[in-house]
Amino acid sequence: MVANLGPSPAAERTSDRLSQVATLQPSAAKQRSAIMAGGPLASAFALAACGGEGGDAQPAASPSVTPTAQSAPTAWPSVDPNQIKAARFLAQASVGCASGDIEALAGTSVEAWLDTQLAMPRPQKFWDFLVTNGYDASSNKSTTNGFDPMIWSQLIGSGDVLRQRVGLALLNIWVVSIDGITSSWKQFNIASYLDNIWDNAFGNYRDVMEAASTSLAMGMYLTYLGSTKQNNTKNEMPDENFARELMQLFTIGLYHLEMDGTESRSGGEPIPTYTQEDVSLGARVWTGYTYGSSEVDTPARVRLPMAIRPSLHETQQTSFLGGRVNVPSDSDAQVARKITLDGLFNHPNMPPFICKRLIQSLVSSNPSPAYIRRVAMTFVDNGNGVRGDLKAVIRAILLDAEARDDTVVASTSFGKLREPVLRFLQWARAFKVRSPSQLWPFGSLASGATQLGQSPARAPSVFNWFRPGYSPAGTAISNAGLVAPEFQIANEPSVIGYVNFMQSVVESGAGDAQPDYSEFRQIASDSSKLVSKLNLVLAANQINEASLRRIRDAVESINGTTDAGLTRRVQAATVLILASPEYLIVR
C-alpha cells in the first residue's frame, strides 16, 4: 500500500503559515487571519474575531452582528495554578477532559491519577459494543455498519481516558484501516484488532507485537494472509509487505539509532537497519497464514488469530538482520514467528525508535535526545529487569521533567500540533457529549474538505495520516531542523474544513449526540469569566491575552440577556478558541 505523501504547494503554504504561528513569529496574527478567512463560515462572530489586527485577508462584517469596539485591557479572573497544571497534563495524557476532571486532578497528584488510570479495567470492548447493539445481525455481514459508532462510543464515552490516548498512539504506529479489510464482517475484524491494541496498551510491547502480527486484520491489510513459500514452478514468492513494514514502521525503523534517538553514522551517512535481502528472507517467516475458521455466517472467525497451513509455510533455514534473527530449518511457523519477533524486540533500535514515536504522539514532536534516552532506558529496564513494560514507559514519558516543565509553554520548539481527532475529542469531552441511542452519529470524519481530515482506523495507508519525520519545507520549522508530523495533513482546505466542521457540531451536535453547555451558560453573561474558563478547559490556559480580548469582544457582540443568547455566547467563544493557534499548538 503506497500513498503519495509529498506535500502539495498549497499544503506547504499553509504549513508555512501555521509554522509561524507555532513558533510565535511576529506575523502570527496576520497568518491567522489568512488561514481563517475564505471559508463559508456561517457565524459572523467567528469571522469578526479572526481579522482583529488587519491581516492579509479581512473578512467582511456580517449585517446580523455589530462587533463592539476593542475593549481596554481587563483584569481576567484568577485561575488556580494547580488547575492550569492539571489541564496541561490532561492535554498530554487523555483524549479530552471536562472542568470536573481538571478540578479533580488539581486536588491530587499526577502520579495518583496515573495509578488509577493504569489500574482501570476497560469498561467495554469494541467487539462487545457491536454485539450489544445488534451489529452481529446477518444483515450487517457485508457492511461496515457500527464501525464509526463503535469508535466514537469509546473515544468520547469511556472513562479510561489514558488507555484511549495510548491506544490511539499505538494505532498511529501499528496502522490498520478498515478500507484495507477484504473479508465479510469488516467492522468486527477491526474491532478485534483494536481490542488487541487497547488490551495491551498497558502491557508489554512484545505482546502488542504478537497480537498485531497474528491478527486477521493485519494479515489482510499488509497482504500476508495466504502468503506462500517460494514455488518456482508456479512462480510464487512470499509476500514481502508485512516483513518490510514490521521492521520499518513497527519495531526498529530505517536507520541505526543511538539510545537518545540520534542516528548512528558511518562516513557521515546514516546506517540502514536492514536491506532488501533482509526483507526477502524475513518474508519467509510470514508464509502459510490463513483464516482461523471456515465459518462465515457469524463474525466469530474474524476474532480468531490467523491459523497456519504447514504445507504453505517456508521451512528453509532463515537468517537475517546480521544474524540477530536465525530460524533453524524445519521450524514450524509459530517457532519462526517467536524467533523473529524476539529478535526485533531485543534489537538495540527498538527502545529509542518506539519511545520517540510515543513521545511524539503524547507530548512533543521534537523531544530532546536526553528525554528520549531517559524513556528508552525505561523501555530497556522498568526497574525490575523487564524490557518493554508499557506502563513504565507511559509513566516515564508523562512524568519526565521535560514534559512537566511548565516554562516550555513559551518555547518555540516544544509541543505539537494537535491531531484533528484530538481537537474534536477535547470538545466532545469538555461538553460531555453522549448518545443515548448509542448511534454516535458522527460517522467517518476523514474528509479534509468538510470534516476533520482524520478519522480513527481510516488511515489512507500503512504510513498513517502523517509521517513522524515530516517537516514542512521552507518553513521556520524545517529551517530550525525540527519536525512537525501533523502538519503533513494541514493545508488550506483542511484548515477551513476543520473550522467549518467544528462550528457545525458546536452549534448542532450530531443527531442525539449533543453537547451540554449548561455549566458555561451559567457564567456566559460575564464574557471575561466565560472566555477565561473555556481557555482553561479547552486550551490549558495557553491562549494569550490579546487573543482572549478579541474573543471576548466577539462574545460581547452577542446579546447575553436571553437563554438563546447565553448559549450562543458559549458556542461563539468555543469555536473561536478551537480555531486559535494557541489551542491548535499544544504545549
The predicted model scores a pTM of 0.89
Query: What gap in Å lies between CA 240 and CA 242, rounded to an integer?
Result: 6
61 pLDDT exceeds 80?
no
Q: DSSP code of 325?
A: E
Residue pair 325/319 in contact (Cβ under 8 Å)? The answer is yes
Question: Which residues, 6+ apart, have CB-to-CB distance to 79 below 8 Å?
Answer: 532, 536, 541
Higher pLDDT pick, 232 / 270: 270
By C-alpha distance, which of 124, 56, 59, 113 is closest to 88?
113
- At residue 566 the predicted structure's pLDDT band, cuts being 50, 70 and 90, is very high
38 pLDDT exceeds 90?
no
Query: What gap in Å lies between CA 156 and CA 424, rounded to an integer?
Result: 9
The pLDDT of 248-267, averaged and rounded, is 97
Query: What gap in Å lies between CA 443 and CA 451, rounded to an integer?
Result: 10
DSSP string, 159-195: S-HHHHHHHHHHHHHS---GGG--SSSHHHHHHHHHH
45 pLDDT exceeds 50?
no
- Neighbouring-strand partners of residue 320: 325
CB atoms within 10 A of CB 66: 10
By C-alpha distance, which of 25, 88, 82, 17 is closest to 587?
88
Query: What gap in Å lies between CA 395 and CA 359, rounded to an integer?
Result: 11
CB atoms within 10 A of CB 109: 11
- At residue 74 the predicted structure's pLDDT band, cuts being 50, 70 and 90, is low
Tens of pLDDT, residue by residue over 103-144, are: 999 999 999 999 999 999 999 999 999 999 999 999 999 999
Query: What gap in Å lies between CA 520 and CA 531, rounded to an integer?
Result: 10
- Per cent of the chain over pLDDT 90 is 85
3 pLDDT exceeds 80?
no
Tens of pLDDT, residue by residue over 315-357, are: 999 999 999 999 999 999 999 999 999 999 999 999 999 999 9
Residues 521-538: b if buried by 16+ CB within 10 A, e if exposed: bebbeebbbbbbbbbbbb
Query: What gap in Å lies between CA 533 and CA 525, rounded to an integer?
Result: 13
Tens of pLDDT, residue by residue over 221-256, are: 999 999 999 998 888 899 999 999 999 999 999 999
DSSP string, 347-402: STTHHHHHHHHHHHHHT-SS--HHHHHHHHHHHH--SSS-SSBHHHHHHHHHHSHH
Query: What gap in Å lies between CA 536 and CA 579, rounded to an integer?
Result: 15
Query: What gap in Å lies between CA 194 and CA 205, rounded to an integer?
Result: 15
Number of H helices and E strands in the chain, helices first, is 27, 8
The pLDDT of 550-565, averaged and rounded, is 95
Tell me the three cell numbers of residue 167.
491506544
> SS3 for 319?
strand
- At residue 544 the predicted structure's pLDDT band, cuts being 50, 70 and 90, is very high
Output the average pLDDT for the chain.
89
pLDDT of res. 394: 98
Tell me the three cell numbers of residue 524.
456566559
Ordered by start, the domain boundaries in the chain are 9-90+414-428+491-586, 121-158+176-248+274-346, 363-404
Tens of pLDDT, residue by residue over 138-177, are: 999 999 999 999 999 999 999 999 999 999 999 999 999 9
Inter-residue long-range contacts of 29-37, CB under 8 Å, 24+ positions, other chains counted: 29/53, 29/55, 29/546, 30/54, 30/55, 30/56, 31/55, 31/56, 32/580, 32/581, 33/57, 33/58, 35/492, 35/495, 35/496, 36/499, 36/579
DSSP string, 191-223: HHHHHHHHHTTTSBHHHHHHHHHT-HHHHHHTT
Query: What gap in Å lies between CA 455 and CA 447, rounded to an integer?
Result: 9
Lowest mean pLDDT among 38-42, 141-145, 147-151, 392-396: 38-42
Residue recorded with cell 457485508: 142
- At residue 410 the predicted structure's pLDDT band, cuts being 50, 70 and 90, is confident
> SS3 for 513?
strand
Lowest mean pLDDT among 28-37, 204-213, 281-290, 561-570: 28-37
Query: What gap in Å lies between CA 463 and CA 207, rounded to an integer?
Result: 22
pLDDT of res. 449: 95
Tens of pLDDT, residue by residue over 362-374, are: 999 999 999 999 9
pLDDT of res. 409: 87
496 pLDDT exceeds 80?
yes
Residue 36 C-beta-side C-alpha neighbours within 13 Å: 33
pLDDT of res. 411: 87
Query: What gap in Å lies between CA 377 and CA 397, rounded to an integer?
Result: 11
538 pLDDT exceeds 70?
yes
Tens of pLDDT, residue by residue over 184-202, are: 999 999 999 999 999 999 9
pLDDT of res. 412: 85
Residue recorded with cell 520549522: 477
Tens of pLDDT, residue by residue over 513-534, are: 999 999 999 999 999 999 999 9
